[in-house]
Amino acid sequence: MPSIHNAKLLLPNCIIHQGWISFENETISATGVGMPPRIDESFDAEGLYLAPGFIDLHVHGGCGADFLDATAEAFATISRFHAAGGTTALAPTGATSTYQQFEVLLAIAGKAVTAGRLLPVHLEGPHLAETKAGAQNKALFIYPQRQQIDWLVSRASQIGTVTVAPELPGALEFIRAGADAGILMSAGHSEAMDEDMNAGVVSGLRKVTHLYNAMSSAKKIGLFRQAGLLEFALATPDLYCEIVADGVHVSPTLLKLAYQAKGPERMILVTDALAGTGLPPGSRFNLGNYVCKVANGYGVLEDESALAGSLARMIDLVRNMTTLVQAPLYEAVRMASLTPAEALGCSDRLGSLETGKLADFVLFDDRFRVRRTMVGGNTVYENRDNECS
């Protein structure tokens, strides 16, 4: 059976040097140290790091394409681009749109052919707070009502995550229905305070969308200071927290604070990459009805009034967690693989280098250059410049 040897295996809590891993039928069959039993079918990794494929739960696009384009070409372009950053499974993420457009997104997601695995989609809106719109189109924001709840529940098998502001009228019933249907309900783009978040968690909230960004923080109400969504998330052990560790959305100090508060078991690295990711500075791209542009290392609305997603891939986030936060490499990788798999409920088959899990791997060097990305034991990216193609 095929195998990879002479690799540094990145496990959730350590690095195994001179390790090997074998696989067949798209599944990991064995791991060990030294040489595998059948060296005639073994690929020499030459000391590269071998990690489980990265899992991105919040990604809108790349190379000029957006998942809301809802075309097979867009899905293929985005997945191919992010595979070059080590992503083997991603959740097509739709920014605020109409439910009619989400319906089209789900239809394409159900049949698109991509380089990596497509996870159930992430709907980021339209039930968000106008004051925390960021680069989202607040003209499309609505309160969740029975019609939207019924729509959500009837399509729960296709939807992995929904971001919602829990303080909105009707939000708690929406959260409860989604959670009961098995959807990962996430608080974001929100003015929620302590009381709102407590009610949201009781109703089924389990995650927070892009920690620090587009969310309330502590403020004085009357004579007393109360926690906002940010502080509630940091202080609540069981809540998963997405974070865009691109070095722009969140400063190194804030990254360190989040890492110390949540740890690798509850912190999830996400790119929040938009269509401009991979394009040269000055390029224009769309986020819904808004025109955005590629700045120096980040995306912004054309009028520069708000950040517009990131320009990162998952390998960039893993690097930043080790260089900006000094997190151990195996913990940075865990935040990009096993932790998102656990949050989404698919860690039985994804997220770590364990026998019986899918043979999704990323091989990279000590300069965080991806050398090879594999899905089900098959190479989907190898030794090319990390450019749009």
Question: Tokens standing for 368?
Answer: 């965080």
Quick check: 364 and 382 in contact, CB under 8 A?
A: no
Domain match, 39 and 86 both: no
Domain match, 277 and 241 both: yes
The confidence score (pLDDT) of residue 260 equals 98
Q: Does 388 fall in a domain? A: no
Q: What DSSP character marks residue 38?
A: -
Judged by phi (left if over 0) then psi (alpha if -120 to 50, else beta), residue 260 lies in alpha
Domain match, 14 and 111 both: no
Q: Does 308 fall in a domain? A: yes
Q: Does 202 fall in a domain? A: yes
Q: Does 351 fall in a domain? A: no
Q: Does 389 fall in a domain? A: no
Domain that holds residue 75: 53-344
Domain match, 156 and 214 both: yes
Q: Does 183 fall in a domain? A: yes
Question: Is the model's pLDDT at 388 over the cut of 80?
Answer: no
Element (H, E) at 379: strand 378-382
Question: Is the model's pLDDT at 304 over the cut of 80?
Answer: yes
Burial class of residue 282, CB neighbours in 10 A (0-12, 13-18, 19+): exposed
The confidence score (pLDDT) of residue 95 equals 96
Q: How confident is the model at residue 324 (pLDDT cuts 50, 70, 90)?
A: very high
- What is the C-alpha separation between 200 and 98, in angstroms, rounded? 24
Domain match, 360 and 221 both: no
Q: Does 350 fall in a domain? A: no
Residue-wise DSSP of 111-168: T---SSEEPPEEEE-SS--GGG-TTS-GGG-----HHHHHHHHHTGGGEEEEEE-TTS
- What is the C-alpha separation between 164 and 174, in angstroms, rounded? 9
Domain match, 253 and 143 both: yes
- What is the C-alpha separation between 241 and 316, in angstroms, rounded? 18
Cis peptide bond N-terminal to 126, omega within 30 = yes
Domain match, 238 and 372 both: no
Domain match, 313 and 375 both: no
Domain match, 215 and 129 both: yes
Residue 195 neighbours by CB distance under 10 Å: 12
Domain match, 201 and 321 both: yes
Domain match, 294 and 333 both: yes
pLDDT digits (tens, 9 = 90+) for 109-127: 999 999 999 999 999 999 9
Look up the CATH number of the domain holding residue 363: 2.30.40.10
**Averaged pLDDT of the chain:** 95
One of 66, 272, 316, 360 is an active-site residue; which one?
272
The confidence score (pLDDT) of residue 279 equals 95
- What is the C-alpha separation between 127 and 129, in angstroms, rounded? 7
The confidence score (pLDDT) of residue 389 equals 53
Look up the CATH number of the domain holding residue 79: 3.20.20.140
Question: Is the model's pLDDT at 36 over the cut of 90?
Answer: no
Count up the domains in the chain and report the number. Answer: 2
Q: How confident is the model at residue 130 (pLDDT cuts 50, 70, 90)?
A: very high
pLDDT digits (tens, 9 = 90+) for 332-381: 999 999 999 999 999 999 999 999 999 999 999 999 999 999 999 999 99
- What is the C-alpha separation between 127 and 123, in angstroms, rounded? 10
Q: Does 182 fall in a domain? A: yes
Question: Is the model's pLDDT at 106 over the cut of 60?
Answer: yes
Catalytic site residue 272? yes
Domain match, 189 and 111 both: yes
